[in-house]
Amino acid sequence: MPDQPPRPKDYIRRVLVVEDDYDLADLLADVLTYENCATDIAANGMEALDRLRDGDYEAVICDLMMPRFDGEAVYKEIAKHYPHLANKILFITGHAARPGGLVDFIYTTSNAILEKPFEMEQLRSALREVFQR
């Protein structure tokens, strides 16, 4: 029997989930497992920056509305210190239409946004788009 080439290993993508709602963060991690992703969870923006220093991520899913250090601040730090990730962020929020314009902010970043509540298929589709950037 001729030698066959080795089967390619599934490529696992590393994703950082920044979400202060623990139940949603766990749900996102479970869904991402089925998308062949290894997921780390940060419960706030400061923890996210610590994880970014220690990890090599291919995408970030980030809640916009978090106490003390919100998603916009996380984005600014990513753009400054990890520019390769600046267009690989998927923002999630329940308050896209708040005064001050989160939508305007998101538009300037060229990243996608999902409004809570969202369907898991919407998440999967948005994540695939992020990986293609």
Give the residue extent of every domain in the chain.
13-132
Give the CATH number of domain 13-132.
3.40.50.2300
Tens of pLDDT along the chain (133 residues) come to 455 555 445 678 999 999 999 999 999 999 999 889 999 999 999 999 999 998 899 999 999 888 888 899 999 999 999 999 999 999 998 765 554 556 677 778 889 888 888 898 999 999 999 998 8
117 cis-preceded (ω within 30 degrees of 0): yes
The residue among 95, 38, 39 whose CA lies nearest residue 71 is 95
Read off the DSSP letter of residue 56: -
Q: Give the predicted TM-score (pTM) of the model.
A: 0.86
